[in-house]
Amino acid sequence: MLLVTDDRMLEHDSGLTHPECPRRLAALLEALRAQPRDDVVWGEPAAVTEADLLAVHTPEHVARIEALRGSSAKLDWDTGVSPGSVDAAHLAAGCAIEAVRSVFGGETRRAFALVRPPGHHAESGRAMGFCLYNNIAIAARYATRNLGVERVLIVDWDVHHGNGTQEIFDADADVLFVSSHQSPLYPGTGAIDERGKGAGLGYTVNLPVPAGTDDETMIALYRDVVPPVAARFAPDLVLVSAGFDAHRDDPLGGLEVTTKGFGALCGIVRDVADRFADGRLVLVLEGGYDVEALVDSTFACLDVMAE
């Protein structure tokens, strides 16, 4: 399996005491380098073009973000940039693109993009929730525009609803978005009756769960919903917004998913990719704010992806 990352994403700093801190990725890379795995190859991010960004975001949003290169600013109450942030955002999207490219290149069938800033709250026209560009949406659109992919399934198990990804693909029937998330919780979207619009009606599946939901319920929910939905959709590619803030130790979320539970969710999604998408599976890191839980849960997913 391929791991795609870049140390320069550590240069993105949202501000002192911000939960989305460089330490998250630094700890993950240190742990991976301290325990080298012979089932892993390392990849470098693809260069992101303006066309890649504009396939998902409005020209105004891209111009607004690009103008911040080299400076520090606040975009909303919890989304800030430092001088290295815009480059980091390009690298994050580039890692997601490279991961997707690799699973169609014959080198590998499974890849994990270890990135920050995260992406799934970024909408077509605005940054929000620690996210500047929507990495997974950019990768999904890259696949449909450049790789001849007809249908992409995006599963989002971050504790927060992936409002940006939902908004970007709301009216599209070629990207099926399935999100599990704690409700009520930031950003407040993701009700069960939000099912897409127009041609995209039925191609958004929201699975809100209450605080305290544990492994048993989450695994049952994924087993009941994801394989049948995937069977009807027949994706060519399965992407995962892999946030680990649904972990019981996470300071921002209130769910009770364990490290082992994330491994089980990853196993369900991996089996779906194997059955319906010729094994093509790409995880893209989103949230996860307890560093130990983030590292352990990532390793649990790598173990499952290595099987």
Residue nearest to Zn ion (CB): 287
Query: Judged by CB, which is closer to Zn ion: 84, or 287?
Result: 287
- Residue 139 CA, chain-centre distance (Å), reads 10
From 24, 160, 161, 247, residue interacting with Zn ion (rule: CB under 5 A) = 160
Query: Least distance in Å: CB of 115 to Zn ion?
Result: 14
Tell me the torsion sign for CA atoms 212, 216, 220, 226: positive
Q: DSSP assignment, residue 69?
A: T
- Is the CB of residue 112 less than 8 Å from the CB of residue 3? yes
Q: DSSP assignment, residue 124?
A: S
Query: Least distance in Å: CB of 145 to Zn ion?
Result: 27
Query: Least distance in Å: CB of 18 to Zn ion?
Result: 14
Query: Least distance in Å: CB of 161 to Zn ion?
Result: 9
Give the range of 62-70, 93-101, 147-155, 284-292 binding Zn ion by CB under 5 A: 284-292
Query: Least distance in Å: CB of 251 to Zn ion?
Result: 11
Tell me which residue of 141, 56, 160, 4 sits closest to 65, measured CA to CA.
Answer: 56
121, 160, 161, 181: the active-site residue = 121
> Which residues lie below 8 Å from residue 142, measured CB to CB, with a gap of 6+?
52, 55, 97, 100, 101
Give the up-direction half-sphere exposure of residue 13: CA atoms within 13 A in the CB hemisphere: 10
Check binding of 290 to Zn ion (CB under 5 A): no
From 158, 194, 250, 256, residue interacting with Zn ion (rule: CB under 5 A) = 158
From 243, 261, 263, 267, residue interacting with Zn ion (rule: CB under 5 A) = 243
From 167, 245, 290, 296, residue interacting with Zn ion (rule: CB under 5 A) = 245
Euclidean distance between CA atoms 48 and 138, whole angstroms: 9
Distances in whole angstroms, Cα of residue 209 to Cα of each of 157, 176, 183, 257, 294: 11, 20, 6, 12, 21
Q: What is the chain's alpha carbon radius of gyration, rounded to the nearest angstrom?
A: 17
From 57, 287, 293, 294, residue interacting with Zn ion (rule: CB under 5 A) = 287
Does 121 participate in catalysis according to the annotation? yes
Give the range of 51-59, 89-97, 98-106, 281-289 binding Zn ion by CB under 5 A: 281-289
- Is the CB of residue 136 less than 8 Å from the CB of residue 119? yes
Query: Judged by CB, which is closer to Zn ion: 158, or 290?
Result: 158
Sites of contact with Zn ion (CB under 5 A) = 158, 160, 243, 245, 287
**Residues involved in catalysis:** 121
